[in-house]
Amino acid sequence: MNAPDALAREKFTELLALTRAPFPASCKAYLPGQLHPDLRVPVRDITLTNGEQVSVYDTSGPYTDPDVVIDVRRGLPGVRSGWIAARGDTEPYAGRPPVALDDGQKSEDAERLAQLRAESAGLQRQPLRARSGHNVTQMHYARRGIVTPEMEYVAIRENGRRAWMQQYLQDAAREQRLRGNPLGASIPERITPEFVRDEVARGRAIIPANINHPEIEPMAIGRNFLVKINANIGNSAVTSGIEEEVEKLVWSIRWGADTVMDLSTGKNIHTTRDWIIRNSPVPIGTVPIYQALEKVGGVAEDLTWEIFRDTLIEQAEQGVDYFTIHAGVRLAYIPLTAGRRTGIVSRGGSIMAKWCLTHHRESFLYEHFEDICDIMKQYDVAFSLGDGLRPGCASDANDEAQFAELHTLGELTQIAWKHDVQTMIEGPGHVPMHMIQANMAEQLKHCHEAPFYTLGPLTIDIAPGYDHIASAIGAAMIGWMGTAMLCYVTPKEHLGLPDRDDVKQGIIAYKIAAHAADVAKGHPGARARDDALSQARFEFRWEDQFNLGLDPETAREFHDETLPKDASKVAHFCSMCGPKFCSMKITQEVRDFAAKGLQEKAVEFRSAGGELYVPRTPA
Amino acid sequence: MNAPDALAREKFTELLALTRAPFPASCKAYLPGQLHPDLRVPVRDITLTNGEQVSVYDTSGPYTDPDVVIDVRRGLPGVRSGWIAARGDTEPYAGRPPVALDDGQKSEDAERLAQLRAESAGLQRQPLRARSGHNVTQMHYARRGIVTPEMEYVAIRENGRRAWMQQYLQDAAREQRLRGNPLGASIPERITPEFVRDEVARGRAIIPANINHPEIEPMAIGRNFLVKINANIGNSAVTSGIEEEVEKLVWSIRWGADTVMDLSTGKNIHTTRDWIIRNSPVPIGTVPIYQALEKVGGVAEDLTWEIFRDTLIEQAEQGVDYFTIHAGVRLAYIPLTAGRRTGIVSRGGSIMAKWCLTHHRESFLYEHFEDICDIMKQYDVAFSLGDGLRPGCASDANDEAQFAELHTLGELTQIAWKHDVQTMIEGPGHVPMHMIQANMAEQLKHCHEAPFYTLGPLTIDIAPGYDHIASAIGAAMIGWMGTAMLCYVTPKEHLGLPDRDDVKQGIIAYKIAAHAADVAKGHPGARARDDALSQARFEFRWEDQFNLGLDPETAREFHDETLPKDASKVAHFCSMCGPKFCSMKITQEVRDFAAKGLQEKAVEFRSAGGELYVPRTPA
């Protein structure tokens, strides 16, 4: 290892240590299972200054648990290993022998590659696959009536701790006004393991969980569950090693990414993927055509089914949980994009379009779709059927090409389901607000309620530099309407590669969108956290207000810019109104008046000096 | 002037010079009137690298016109002075004599105040009022069938240049898919001066335009016009002088604020207001109760109708264009807030609640509402009927208190209209997505289509530090549904006072929301700018993509972080996909294929080497 590498590595090791710090006033806890008592379902418990506790969904994995010793060179413990083994339907096997080409034709020189691969030595696992004649997908189990540990895990995780929410849930039960509008979703008051099983069996939810990725904390993507978000990460052009690439993952899940897509291209993609998967407690998705293209030196027309198939197996053995596959980009649809303003904007879509045009043949992904299913079900890799013909601007939204592909994705969904392969459907992209509903309606109609997974959509095109906001609007709306997972967009969209802060900005914007959708749908308990925060705000419990927010650090920083003194953390006013005008404070008076009767109180109030705003000594 | 003051002043003078710089590739132009040929309606023309020109709505006033010499100590020229004089229904008069109390009981020491007031010497104007028996509101003229210069100005401004949009408008005309969904709005293909008159006459739009604010470039707020946004500014605790306070205004309108509310409290508020109004080309709104409260030393129960009335006249003479007046906070509604989670969160609302409770009397604002109308119509100050009982959190949304007040605002609207006083209605606040529609429906039903002016609404409560995003979602939706103006929220909401960058972040988020609403409503031409930008994106005209965006500087900066070299500004790829994967480029191929026939082209393509992605020599 040379000196700059060592320096960079040290930097990322330090960064990773920071990224592991627990959130303020927060403590990781684990909920046990009932059907499967060994389950340890993570939650984050936030202790408030008034002694109450609020418990929230936690995507950050063991990283924020100070009791867990983590060595990124050895990977996370295999939470699911025992469950998988207990099913007795898998077998270890030698696996596909690794070749240099797995890291791309333009990989580093042999020595450097060897060095990087050496770092992965502790991360190598013998792959599992389904025993002959078996199908190891969660959908397969679900359809045979089996409630897997993964399903019970998901049920517990979706409910969270309900005890602290009771006061808020009661309000909603009392007042019609406070109920959500699920727009056709069927969200039960309490998620049971059986409900999860049923949703997975009918294809309305997926639990991405490759048998070769036992490290994951299972989660569900489906219309009747909490709306999830995905963050994309990619390899660095010149990586300093494991710490750097893993830190990106840990950073993403810290802020709330429910799944992460590894969109690495170019050099060292196989090796980087080892690093990420072995250290990831969230499902990892990929777009295998990117790696396949690397293997043929970037020449789309040189792609073959054999190379693609080999790549699927390679990645399935590593443990990728879902594959984006653009099997709906059919030869006949490509001319439908000719009149578009921005043509084909999906990378995968354009690769396949080029292949189809050059050979004037139907897409090999479409033609080999059942062969792909055969691979998927041996590892339980889920389909994320890619929308290669998604619109790249508002004026291409909802056009013939887009919907033709969507209808094909619906057909393919039924084929996948014939094989009990879990499937979700990718969606746009760029869609003005008034055209969003049609996307959801078409998807529900033609894709048989398979989970929808959309990129935004961006509602306008004139906000480069702020596309996380332009798209959070569309994401919140489509999430409310039924989209199960929202793929984030960062401020750098259309302009460049996101840096660390961009990733965070994108994730927070999408947590906002997803939560807004959960609240609107009336997911039980979703609004309890809002209520707890508002209550803290009203009672001037500043620390609690920060700590209940999506980003406690930033909230505190912003507050402290104007009122940095510690004393103002308990001040009964904020810098916006100051002590004189505080409108929160007056409400206490209103309550007293209402309780005692207005007339009587007015007299009493006046005679007591009529002072509402007791001036504070400046801190 | 002491040394630190001189230094600060120099700093703000420099900042102001920067804030006056025209946008890149942009040039201010003026469109003439037909009925009133002397009109000079501003637009910003952006010249693209392909020779095309795109022209956009421009709120920045003369500040971005390098030909205009501006001296903030003398104020802007009175664009409307001639029009007002020509109507012959106003008279100059001595006006209310200024007193020290106008700058608050806690104003600076006498010497400092005298110094600050001396700076305003060049900004003093003799006030105008309606001649006895006259009513000088735009609504009054409109109802008498008069198309004022202000109305024609608005019509021209709303249309903008239509020539460059033709290609985009034709697409929309051809395809049903590309039309908006106005959700009940009646937006004509082209806004005529007569249409503006009719909208103002029936109260569905207002043109805030105090006769004592001749400096404004008239604009309209109404459901059938472009959605507008408001930015709030306030005085600095220790102001260095005119340059500092004016720069905030100029900064806000640079990024797109259509109106600005001066929410100054505490010291020097009268004097600061002189500085702002005399230098503002956009309508200025205030909440007069804030100043009235300063006059009684911050003791709400000491407020009287006489002090409030005096404040209204004082501010009307200065030229404030609209007043937020919380006349709907009636005594009987106050107990309705007792069960709320966060009570009364509006400052004005809580002041009035305190007054009503202490005296156990009906609000003097409600009781004197017709007296207030008598003042408004003498100067053409518009009502912004304040929602003092707006919800402060999701769980208080759409409750009895909120809607009781809204219904009263509807009654008051009809009283105001009896006096031909222009009126808009303020709205919330904090409203989850699924409860937004009910707000718009209630407002339309009870307030007779008077323009709705909402603060957000915030769709969730758990995003302190990011409330501009949480609220941009709600703002975009309610804008689509019919809200005419969106009051911005900055990232500092609930936490502290916004700084210069927060103001910009808030404004951009709200320009996104407003534009998303315009596009969804199908405002003719709104989407043309999106199309032009997308076209530039597709054709790799990077400079044009930046310059057509809401914030060219940031877009360019973000791009340059990854690809700083000038050569990459014309590169046919971006850093996200690189030269290999560029999906935009393949579309050109698709078009050729579609044009020539697929089979024939496939052969030709292969025989030509099949190269789509011509590698570029690194710049």
A162 CB within 8 Å of a chain B CB: no
Q: Is A601 or B6 the better-scoring residue by pLDDT?
A: B6
Asked whether residue A501 carries a pLDDT value surpassing 70, the answer given is yes
- Measured in angstroms, the CA of B2 and the nearest CA of chain A are apart by 25
Contact between A587 and B177 using a beta-carbon 8 Å cutoff:
no
Chain segment B369-396, per-residue pLDDT in tens: 999 999 999 999 999 999 999 999 999 9
- Measured in angstroms, the CA of B411 and the nearest CA of chain A are apart by 25
% of chain A residues with pLDDT over 70: 91
CB contacts < 8 A, A to B, total 435
Contact between A395 and B530 using a beta-carbon 8 Å cutoff:
yes
Contact between A349 and B583 using a beta-carbon 8 Å cutoff:
yes
Partners of residue A230 on adjacent β-strands: A259, A487
- When pLDDT is averaged across residues A536-541 and rounded to a whole number, the result is 92
A47 CB within 8 Å of a chain B CB: no
Contacts of B595 in chain A (CB under 8 A): 338
Asked if A598 contacts B351 with a C-beta cutoff of 8 angstroms, the reply is no
Chain segment A323-377, per-residue pLDDT in tens: 999 999 999 999 999 989 999 999 999 999 999 999 999 999 999 999 999 999 9
pLDDT score of B579:
54
What's the maximum distance between 2 C-alpha atoms anywhere in chain A?
A: 92
Asked whether residue A1 carries a pLDDT value surpassing 60, the answer given is no
| d(C-alpha A356, C-alpha A472), whole Å | 34
Q: Side chain identity at A166, as an amino acid letter?
A: Q
Chain segment A161-210, per-residue pLDDT in tens: 999 998 888 877 788 888 999 999 999 999 999 999 999 999 999 999 99
Out of B168, B394, B595, name the one closest to residue A530 (CB): B394
B463 CB within 8 Å of a chain A CB: yes
| d(C-alpha A379, C-alpha A373), whole Å | 10
Whether residue A101 is contained in a domain is answered as: no
- Measured in angstroms, the CA of A228 and the nearest CA of chain B are apart by 16
B296 CB within 8 Å of a chain A CB: no
The kind and range of the H/E element at A44 are strand A41-47
Out of A399, A476, A605, name the one closest to residue B433 (CB): A476
Contact between A342 and B472 using a beta-carbon 8 Å cutoff:
no
Partners of residue A299 on adjacent β-strands: none
Strands (DSSP E) found in B111-227: 128-130, 205-206, 221-222
- Chain A 321-350, CB below 8 Å of chain B: which residues? 331, 334-335, 337-338, 340-347, 349-350
Whether residue A596 is contained in a domain is answered as: yes
Place of tokens 């939650």: A43
Whether residue B580 is contained in a domain is answered as: yes
pLDDT score of A565:
65
Q: At what angle do helices A110-119 and A269-278 cross, to 10 degrees?
A: 10
Q: Give burial (CB, 10 Å; 0-12/13-18/19+) of B145.
A: exposed
Tell me the backbone φ, ψ of residue B607, rounded to 5 degrees.
Answer: -70, -20
A590 CB within 8 Å of a chain B CB: yes
Out of B178, B512, B577, name the one closest to residue A395 (CB): B178
| d(C-alpha A383, C-alpha A369), whole Å | 11
pLDDT score of A618:
38
Two tokens, residue B190: 């082209």
**DSSP tally for chain A: helices H, then strands E:** 24, 15
| CA-based nearest residue in chain A for residue B539 | A342
pLDDT score of A613:
35
Contacts of A393 in chain B (CB under 8 A): 530-531, 534, 537-538
Two tokens, residue B542: 């990077």
Three-class HEC string of A182-196: CCCCCCCCCCCHHHH
Q: Which of A353-357, B345-349, B414-418 has the highest mean pLDDT?
A: B414-418
Whether residue B289 is contained in a domain is answered as: no
B170 CB within 8 Å of a chain A CB: no
Q: At what angle do helices B598-607 and B583-596 cross, to 10 degrees?
A: 120
Average pLDDT, chain A: 91
What's the maximum distance between 2 C-alpha atoms anywhere in chain B?
A: 92
| d(C-alpha B594, C-alpha A333), whole Å | 11
Tell me the backbone φ, ψ of residue A170, rounded to 5 degrees.
Answer: -65, -40
Chain segment B93-134, per-residue pLDDT in tens: 999 998 989 998 765 678 888 888 888 999 999 999 999 999
pTM of the model: 0.95
Cβ-based neighbours of A594, under 8 Å, separated by 6 or more: B334, B335, B338
Contact between B342 and A595 using a beta-carbon 8 Å cutoff:
no
- For the stretch A104-112, contacts whose Cβ atoms lie closer than 8 Å and that sit 24 or more positions apart, written own/partner, are A104/A266, A104/A267, A104/A268, A104/A269, A104/A291, A104/A294, A104/A295, A105/A294, A105/A295, A105/A296, A105/A297, A105/A298, A106/A266, A106/A267, A106/A294, A106/A297, A107/A267, A107/A268, A108/A267, A108/A268
Whether residue A333 is contained in a domain is answered as: no
Partners of residue A30 on adjacent β-strands: A42
Tell me: is residue A388 an annotated ligand-binding position: yes
A469 CB within 8 Å of a chain B CB: yes
Contacts of A441 in chain B (CB under 8 A): none
Lowest mean pLDDT among A303-312, A320-329, A607-616, B234-243: A607-616
| d(C-alpha B519, C-alpha B179), whole Å | 9
| d(C-alpha B94, C-alpha B126), whole Å | 7
Whether residue A595 is contained in a domain is answered as: yes
Asked if B510 contacts A572 with a C-beta cutoff of 8 angstroms, the reply is no
Task: Say if strands A205-206 and A221-222 run parallel, antiparallel, or are unpaired.
Answer: antiparallel
Specify the 3-state DSSP secondary structure of A346. Answer: coil
Out of A399, A521, A533, name the one closest to residue B462 (CB): A533
% of chain A residues with pLDDT over 90: 78
Q: What is the DSSP string of B271-324?
A: HHHHHHHHT-SS-EEE-HHHHHHHHTTT-GGG--HHHHHHHHHHHHHHT--EEE
Q: Which of B558, B601, B603 to mutate to test the interface with A (most CBs of A within 10 A)?
A: B558
| CA-based nearest residue in chain B for residue A167 | B341
Out of A181, A509, A610, name the one closest to residue B301 (CB): A610
> What residue numbers of B does the annotated binding site cover?
232, 261, 290, 326, 346-348, 387-390, 426, 430, 453, 494, 574, 577, 582
CA distances from B466 to A114, A521, A568, B469 (A): 45, 22, 21, 6
| Cβ neighbours of B51 (radius 10 Å) | 6
Contacts of B601 in chain A (CB under 8 A): 357
A460 CB within 8 Å of a chain B CB: yes
B610 CB within 8 Å of a chain A CB: yes
Three-class HEC string of A570-615: CCCCCCCCHHHHCHHHHHHHHHHHHHHCHHHHHHHHHHCCCCCCCC
Contact between B357 and A588 using a beta-carbon 8 Å cutoff:
no
A29 CB within 8 Å of a chain B CB: no
Lowest mean pLDDT among A72-81, A174-183, A276-285, B443-452: A174-183
Asked whether residue A84 carries a pLDDT value surpassing 90, the answer given is yes
Chain segment B295-338, per-residue pLDDT in tens: 999 899 999 999 999 999 999 999 999 999 999 999 999 999 99
Whether residue B601 is contained in a domain is answered as: yes
> What residue numbers of B does the annotated binding site for Zn(2+) cover?
430, 494
Work out the angle at residue B477's Cα, subtended by the Cα atoms of residues B475 and B480, and round it to the nearest 5 degrees: 105
**DSSP tally for chain B: helices H, then strands E:** 24, 15
- When pLDDT is averaged across residues B262-288 and rounded to a whole number, the result is 95
A520 CB within 8 Å of a chain B CB: yes
Specify the 3-state DSSP secondary structure of B606. Answer: helix
Whether residue A395 is contained in a domain is answered as: no
Tell me how long chain A is.
619
pLDDT score of B307:
98
Q: What domain range includes position B581?
A: 572-611
- When pLDDT is averaged across residues A20-32 and rounded to a whole number, the result is 96
Q: Give burial (CB, 10 Å; 0-12/13-18/19+) of A163.
A: exposed
- When pLDDT is averaged across residues A563-572 and rounded to a whole number, the result is 64
A402 CB within 8 Å of a chain B CB: no
| d(C-alpha B293, C-alpha A100), whole Å | 77
Q: Which of B357, B493, B542, B605 to mutate to test the interface with A (most CBs of A within 10 A)?
A: B357
| Total count of domains within chain A | 1
Q: Which of A175, A390, A466, A575 to mutate to test the interface with B (most CBs of B within 10 A)?
A: A466
Contacts of B548 in chain A (CB under 8 A): 462
Contact between A495 and B581 using a beta-carbon 8 Å cutoff:
no
Contact between A512 and B393 using a beta-carbon 8 Å cutoff:
no
Lowest mean pLDDT among A521-535, A559-573, B64-78, B343-357: A559-573
